[in-house]
Structure 1
Amino acid sequence: MRFVERTGSTNSDLAADPSAGEGNWLIALQQDEGRGRQGRAWQSCTGNFHGSTVVQLRPTDPPAPTLALTCGVALIRAVEAAAPATGLILKWPNDLLLGLGKLGGVLLERAGDRVVAGFGVNLASAPELPDRATAALSSVALVSPAAFAPLLAAAFARELERWRGDFPALMALWLESAHKIGTPLTVAAGADGRVEGAFDGLEADGALRLRLPSGEVRVIRAADVTLGAA
């Protein structure tokens, strides 16, 4: 596990380093070019966690996109170990909410036969965003990046082993920590625009099942999901 004072992006650094293997972690106290899913910038506030790790893909592994659920389960377990937070839930596929505010998120990027998983967690402060509510763990406990890093690394190693050995069990753990079946969701899914429906669980490959008002179930494999109706 390596800490640096400042970098552009921990994901980019690991992806560009061919010697970075599975289990390696890079944590930056400040990240100047952090990014999230859907091409968004990730605001890296002082005292928050910004770190990435590597998964070396094996021929027998589940499909790489299902690592998103693995990251989500590891993230919520690490936060639960760090602080007695209540109201933690996972939003598909791997956003972590505290109450209704986004506490953390994960960006997965493929680099050949490796996947780089970048984690961002608002430990100290929550950036103000125009399009979504945010939250910080400091509202319930003070946790430093140095204290959080080994908790996340241990949780990720444990869930990565579960992902390889029993993916259905991993999905069950994700569902236990996620928004309940029937929760209203709004999905921004490319050419389809914004679609409203209710959470109807997961497909066998981890895709989101969205039950439309008509009763039809739409399977979502890539989209921006928000809780509630638009």
Structure 2
Amino acid sequence: MLALARSGVEEGVWLRAERQYGGRGRQGRAWASPAGNLYTSTLVRLRASDPQAATLALVTAVALEEVVRAYLPPRHSRERGNPASSFSVSAERQRDPRVRGEDGTGDQLQLKWPNDLLLDGAKLSGILLEGAGDAVVIGIGVNLAHHPTDLDRLATSLAAHGITPDPADFLDTLVAAFALWLARWRGEGLAPIRARWLDRAHAPGTALTARLPDGSATDGLFVGLDNDGALILRLADGMTRVIHAADVFLI
């Protein structure tokens, strides 16, 4: 997708791989990519009036959370906060227990800064942004059928919760959700995206560790996001710290 971005391909193109042999996570980490999961990327051509490019991670996260929640049992659908966008899975698929997870699993679906989606506290997906001229390439990986067991954090998959989406079908729904949230990002600014992200994140007061790019670590309690989407932590001395880049872990 980076090559296509540099060649001038238009915004809105999506690529999906059945599997990857050189998958990468944040900070260049290798990422296992067996068949059955979702590996996809798209690009956004930046405009002068767009919010900060880095906040596309929040746009992607809220769209992805919305799609995953559509596959979970109905009792996990939340009505508080901003109204859901207009996409939905079909009625036939909603009645299919293989899609909706009628065994009652998947109790906790939460966003974690900067770009993770957690299911029952374990990493379900990740998002990676890369620049290419006036474009931002957005890479998305979702553990549908498999999940790694050798990470420095817990990971899970939808299959581990009794839900088995087809990757192509899942992507079709994600494309629609992402288009709606991208349009809001452009038309209304970051505020509604930030509000939705906070509504779907872990609760204020959650204890977090932020591992910073310089190798240091900061512990604190989750306060929220600033107006630019940066993480705000309350430290032990009562002061707050704004963090723009870090790996973040629940304590």
Report if TM-score (shorter chain) is over 0.5: yes
Match of 1:99 among 116, 120, 129: 120
Cα drift, residue 12 of structure 1: 4.1
Residues 38 and 142 of structure 2 are in contact (CA less than 8 Å); yes or no, is this contact kept in structure 1? yes
Pair 1:95–1:14, CA change in 2 (3 A): farther
What amino acid is the match of 1:209? I
Cα drift, residue 199 of structure 1: 0.5
State the partner residue of 1:111: 132
2: CA distance, partners of 1:23 / 1:88: 27
* 2:82 paired with 1:60: no
1: CA distance, partners of 2:167 / 2:143: 10
2: CA distance, partners of 1:12 / 1:19: 10
1: CA distance, partners of 2:238 / 2:44: 38
Cα drift, residue 42 of structure 1: 1.6
Cα drift, residue 30 of structure 1: 0.9
1:118-174 alpha-carbon deviations (Å, 9 max, x no partner): 000000011112411100001231101111011111111011111112221110000
* 2:14 paired with 1:43: no
RMSD of equivalent CA atoms:
1.3
Cα drift, residue 192 of structure 1: 6.0
Q: Report the identity percentage.
A: 51
> What is the TM-score of this pair, normalised by structure 1?
0.90
Cα drift, residue 56 of structure 1: 0.7
Gaps of 5+ in 1: 1-10
State the partner residue of 2:206: 183
Written as runs of structure 1 = structure 2, the 5 A alignment for 1:1-150 is 11-16=1-6, 18-84=7-73, 85-138=106-159, 139-150=161-172
2: CA distance, partners of 1:13 / 1:121: 23
1: CA distance, partners of 2:235 / 2:4: 40
Of structures 1 and 2, the larger Rg is shown by: 2
Pair 1:130–1:80, CA change in 2 (3 A): closer
State the partner residue of 1:208: 231
Gaps of 5+ in 2: 74-105
Cα drift, residue 15 of structure 1: 4.0
1: CA distance, partners of 2:28 / 2:151: 16
What amino acid is the match of 2:209? T
Pair 1:53–1:142, CA change in 2 (3 A): same
Pair 1:132–1:14, CA change in 2 (3 A): farther
Residues 81 and 151 of structure 1 are in contact (CA less than 8 Å); yes or no, is this contact kept in structure 2? no
How many pairs were matched up? 217
1:12-59 alpha-carbon deviations (Å, 9 max, x no partner): 45445x242211000000111111112211211210000000101000
Written as runs of structure 1 = structure 2, the 5 A alignment for 1:134-173 is 134-138=155-159, 139-166=161-188, 167-173=190-196
Pair 1:132–1:144, CA change in 2 (3 A): same
2: CA distance, partners of 1:43 / 1:174: 27
Pair 1:130–1:81, CA change in 2 (3 A): closer
> What is the TM-score of this pair, normalised by structure 2?
0.83
Pair 1:14–1:76, CA change in 2 (3 A): farther
Cα drift, residue 115 of structure 1: 0.3
What amino acid is the match of 2:39? H
